Structure 1
Amino acid sequence: MIRVVVADDHPIVRTGIAGLLDTEPDFEVVGEAASGEEAIALAAETAPHVVLMDLRMPGMGGVEATRRIVRSGHASAPRVLVFTTYEDDDQILAAIEAGASGYLVKAAPAEEVAAGVRAVVAGQTVLAPSVAVALAQAARGGVGDPGAAADTGAAPDPVPNLTPREREILTLVAQGLSNPQIAARLFIGESTVKTHLLHVFEKLGVSDRTRAAIRALELRLI
């Protein structure tokens, strides 16, 4: 069973998410918290696998609570999955940097929430490409001269030859746009966007949008 603590200061939201997770045969909600302080206490008391953490709560917010839970020093410290209202919440990046394993949007379908929880338990990271790119940029201290190469003594990775359209679509992916949004922005069909992305994945040697965005940043393609 996957043991989950739900932390959210809105009782209706908290109860609704707990009820949703309880309908899954492999989930058990072992606690509900209305603040960061309560989330920390429950994480220590109930030994959950995952804490589904709201970011904006009275008292201690989700970012600091995430940091303390992840860095508690316990061998069985749970993973933290941010649960936010907006994809552009300015605290998402801070929570990820504090140790959260990813984030979900509260408007996400029930199956997506369940899949996200299972993914972080399996050791995966649940991130939108735009957040992944922001993290990569922060880790590098920002993007420098596109023509510059790090002096590591090793031969640089070969840079795939992306078409202008593929670069354009990949840039929009990194900005967080969905396939329908990209199609509307570029006045092309959604199937065309998918085809271009498949070609990009193959050229970059990746299997999803997030890894494509990060790889493109590493190679300074975007």
Structure 2
Amino acid sequence: MTAPVRVLVCDDQALIRTGFATIIDAQPDLEIVGECGDGRAAVDLARRLDPDVVVMDVRMPVLDGIGATRLLAGAGVPDPVKVLVVTTFNLDEYVYEALRAGASGFLLKDAPPAQLLQGIRTVASGAALLAPEVTRQLVGRFAARIRPAEEIAQTQLAPRELEVLRLIAEGLSNSEIAAALVISQETVKTYVSRILTKLDLRDRVQAVVYAYRRGLVT
């Protein structure tokens, strides 16, 4: 049998932390290996317990979730840990920064339990998790202010690849991109793979951040 996905939960609100842990640990394919209430503890525990996924809050004492994510999954980190950020709408600017720091995805704290569980499984599998219904609201609202004007430049992507990247950044799934461009889903997957390779990006989350920082999406 496949070993369960090992999950570390980090949230400074004990009620939320315990609730997440209870829901997660009840699943046969998921296992809670630790809980903590601040980002520094999350980093220390993650390095000691080697979880598959860290479910990370953003606003916490000692070290916030962004700083902890950067230490666990940021550029240049050896053996990076997959981080799933959970947040509320009034923290959307922090989510953008968390994605830049290396998070593999995000969910809203009021998401249904099934969505949290599927999100953990998705991130653990190596895929990125972007919630299409909030991508434009969370990232788009702050992108124009955050990205430096000098970073708005042409990329090394072909025109069709650039088109696919823009649609990814708008939160469209592969099937939606295929329908919009009247191509097959397999062709979309090929374009996505080329985009990530050419731009040296880890996943779709980083592709979204790249697109907004370079002014490819408005």
Q: For structure 1, which runs of at least 5 residues remain unmatched after alignment?
A: 162-169, 179-195
**Aligned 1:26-175 pairs, distance under 5 A:** 26-71=29-74, 73-75=77-79, 77-86=80-89, 89-128=92-131, 129-130=135-136, 134=143, 138=147, 156-157=158-159, 174=170
Larger RCO: 1 or 2 (CA < 8 Å, sep 6+): 2
Cα offsets for 1:103-122 (capped at 9, x unmatched): 11111111111111111111
For 1:23, the equivalent position in structure 2 comes to 26
- Seen in structure 2, the aligned counterparts of structure 1 residues 47 and 203 have a Cα distance that, compared at 3 Å, is same
Cα offsets for 1:40-74 (capped at 9, x unmatched): 11101211001100000112100001111125844
Cα offsets for 1:25-45 (capped at 9, x unmatched): 111101111001111111012
> In 2, distance between residues paired with 1:50 and 1:159?
30
Q: For structure 2, which runs of at least 5 residues remain unmatched after alignment?
A: 190-203
Indicate the SS of the match to 2:84. Answer: strand
Shift of 1:132: 6.5
For 1:8, the equivalent position in structure 2 comes to 11
Q: Which has the higher helix share?
A: 2
Indicate the SS of the match to 2:83. Answer: strand
Cα offsets for 1:89-138 (capped at 9, x unmatched): 21011111111111111111111111111111111111243257659x95
Indicate the SS of the match to 1:91. Answer: helix
Cα offsets for 1:174-222 (capped at 9, x unmatched): 3x7x9xxxxxxxxxxxxxxxxx977415359648xx89x96x989x686
> In 2, distance between residues paired with 1:45 and 1:158?
44
May I ask how many residue pairs the two structures share in their alignment?
184
Indicate the SS of the match to 2:66. Answer: helix
> In 1, distance between residues paired with 2:64 and 2:46?
15
Q: TM-score, normalised by structure 2?
A: 0.66
Backbone CA RMSD of aligned residues: 4.2
Q: Are 1:200 and 2:180 counterparts? A: yes
- Seen in structure 2, the aligned counterparts of structure 1 residues 142 and 74 have a Cα distance that, compared at 3 Å, is closer
Using the aligned pairs only, state the percent identity.
34
Cα offsets for 1:135-168 (capped at 9, x unmatched): 9x95996657xxxx66x6x8x525999xxxxxxx
- Seen in structure 2, the aligned counterparts of structure 1 residues 60 and 160 have a Cα distance that, compared at 3 Å, is closer
> In 1, distance between residues paired with 2:42 and 2:32?
13
